[in-house]
């Protein structure tokens, strides 16, 4: 507790003492300034590359001191002053979903390249948790917030209204479809799957397994699929739907497939609105002794990278999650200085497997 208040005396010596084990204060800008024999203002300016504020000689002295002391500015001090930190909050609905984890990984990489730090949160698609995290990100003075599958919540409305930089990924802003968005054209993708199937054979019935349809992605995928089938001459009654309760897509796929199996007519081609739903359906089919894709063909969404290795029976709409990061960051950047940015559509692709 007796930290000597000496500021003037014995400056040269004290530098060496700082790296002791005990209370070891991290190197501050003041130490650098003392060692370089300049003011902290100058150190700050040199570090931030401000022009015409230091001779090259002074700058060199400062940089030497920085290197010698291993100085690295504390983000906290800077954030306080600038009222803005380098943190970007990423609120994901479910990290257990490999597709979402892949997206998060890609975003993390891109954020890092842009000099941001990602704070990743798992909202479990729960509005209360999402709100809590939104509040926390505000408290952290986060530069922006990326919502990787958002749910409607009061504070989300509030932040949107306040014009905070929000980027929605995969699922559009539930409160305003025109908010900045990065994702595929879900309607077109659903439509493409229908076309793909019809090109081979128009015989129904067709199946559609989905989770909640109250959100943009699912809605659009389903609508596109139905539209594609109808456009190809399939009657709406030929499209059988299945779903399940809860938020776990695996369980939903399992239950939904159970429902289809129990129905009077069993579709031979079934679109699942996520890979996980397809996995659940696959398991249910296996339990029923049916083979995929010989007996029943499944089509998923996302195309989890593992599919190629262990799910060779699953065709899927590939969503290029690995490419999301740069686009998300670009959208965020646009939002930060132009104060507006619009949807960034990613290309999708049909990956056909298993014959």
Partner DNA sequence: TTTTTGAAGGAAAACGATTTCCTCAATCCT
Partner DNA sequence: AGGATTGAGGAAATCGTTTTCCTTCAAAAA
Name the maximum alpha-carbon separation found in the chain.
Answer: 91
Q: Is residue 333 within 8 Å of residue 304, measured between CB atoms? A: no
The whole-angstrom separation of Cα 314 and Cα 303 is 9
Q: Which residues pair with 181 in a beta bridge?
A: 168
Residue 147 interacts with which of DNA, a second copy, none, CB < 5 to 8 Å by class? none
Asked whether position 309 contacts a second copy by CB under 8 A, the answer is yes
126, exposed or middle or buried, with CB in 10 Å at 0-12, 13-18, 19+?
middle
Among 215, 292, 211, CA closest to 253: 211
Question: Would you give the distance in Å from CA 140 to the centre of its chain?
Answer: 19
Binding of residue 20 to DNA (CB under 7 A): no
CB contact at 8 A, 216 and 171: yes
Contact partner at residue 351 from a second copy, DNA, none, CB < 5 to 8 Å by partner kind: none
Enumerate residues 65-94 that contact DNA by CB under 7 A: 71, 73-74, 76-78, 80-83
Q: Scanning residues 185 to 244, which ones bind a second copy (CB under 8 A)?
A: none
Q: Find which of a second copy, DNA, none residue 118 binds, CB within 5 to 8 Å per kind.
A: a second copy
Nearest to 175 by CA among 162, 190, 192: 162
Q: Which stretch binds a second copy (CB under 8 A): 192-200, 209-217, 226-234, 308-316?
A: 308-316
Q: Does 47 bind a second copy (CB under 8 A)?
A: no
Distance (Å) of CA 75 to CA 3, 21, 182, 316, 331: 24, 23, 29, 43, 24
310 binds, among DNA, a second copy, none (CB under 5 to 8 A by kind): a second copy
Cβ-based nearer residue to a second copy, 90 or 198: 90
34 vs 171 by CB, closer to DNA: 34
Euclidean distance between CA atoms 141 and 159, whole angstroms: 13
Q: Taking the complex as a whole, how short is the minimal distance between the CB of residue 87 and a second copy, in angstroms?
A: 7
Cis preceding-peptide flag for 293 (omega within 30 of 0): yes
CB of 300 to a second copy, least distance (A): 11
- 3-state SS, residue 128: helix
Output 191 or 282, the one with its CB closest to a second copy: 282
**Binding stretches for DNA (CB under 7 A):** 1, 3, 25-26, 28-30, 37-42, 44-45, 47-48, 52-55, 58, 71, 73-74, 76-78, 80-83
**Binding stretches for a second copy (CB under 8 A):** 21, 24, 26, 72-77, 79-80, 85, 87, 95-96, 98, 101-102, 104-105, 108-109, 112, 117-122, 135-136, 138-141, 162-163, 250, 279-280, 282-283, 286, 305-306, 308-312
């Amino acid at each position: 507790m007796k930290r000597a208040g000496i500021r003037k005396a014995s400056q040269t010596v004290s530098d060496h003492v700082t790296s002791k084990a005990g209370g070891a204060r991290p190197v501050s800008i003041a130490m650098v300034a003392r060692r370089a024999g300049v003011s902290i203002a100058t150190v700050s300016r040199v570090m931030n590359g401000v022009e015409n504020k230091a001779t090259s000689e002074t700058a060199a002295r400062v940089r030497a001191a920085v290197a010698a002391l291993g100085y690295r500015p504390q983000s906290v001090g800077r954030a306080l002053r600038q009222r803005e930190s380098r943190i970007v909050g990423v609120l994901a609905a479910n990290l257990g979903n490999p597709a979402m984890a892949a997206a998060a990984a890609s975003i993390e990489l891109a954020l890092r390249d842009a000099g941001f730090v990602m704070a990743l949160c798992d909202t479990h698609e729960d509005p209360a948790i999402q709100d809590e995290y939104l509040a926390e990100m505000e408290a952290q003075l986060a530069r922006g917030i990326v919502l990787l599958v958002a749910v409607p919540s009061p504070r989300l409305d509030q932040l949107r209204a306040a014009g905070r930089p929000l980027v929605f990924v995969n699922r559009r802003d539930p409160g305003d479809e025109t908010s900045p968005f990065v994702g595929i054209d879900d309607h077109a993708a659903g439509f493409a799957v229908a076309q793909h199937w019809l090109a081979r054979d128009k015989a129904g019935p067709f199946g559609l397994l989905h989770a909640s349809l109250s959100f943009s992605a699912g809605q659009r995928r389903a609508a596109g699929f139905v539209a594609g089938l109808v456009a190809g001459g399939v009657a709406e009654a030929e499209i059988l739907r299945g779903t399940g309760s809860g938020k776990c897509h695996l369980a939903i796929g399992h239950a939904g497939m159970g429902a289809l199996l129990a129905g009077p007519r069993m579709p031979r081609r079934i679109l699942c609105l996520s890979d996980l739903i397809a996995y659940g359906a696959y398991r249910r089919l296996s339990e029923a002794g049916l083979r995929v894709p010989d007996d029943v063909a499944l089509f998923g969404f996302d195309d989890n990278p593992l599919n190629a290795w262990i799910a060779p029976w699953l065709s899927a709409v590939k969503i290029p999650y690995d490419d999301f990061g740069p686009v998300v960051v670009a959208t965020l950047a646009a939002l930060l200085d132009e104060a507006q940015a619009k949807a960034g559509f990613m290309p999708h692709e049909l990956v056909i497997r298993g014959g």
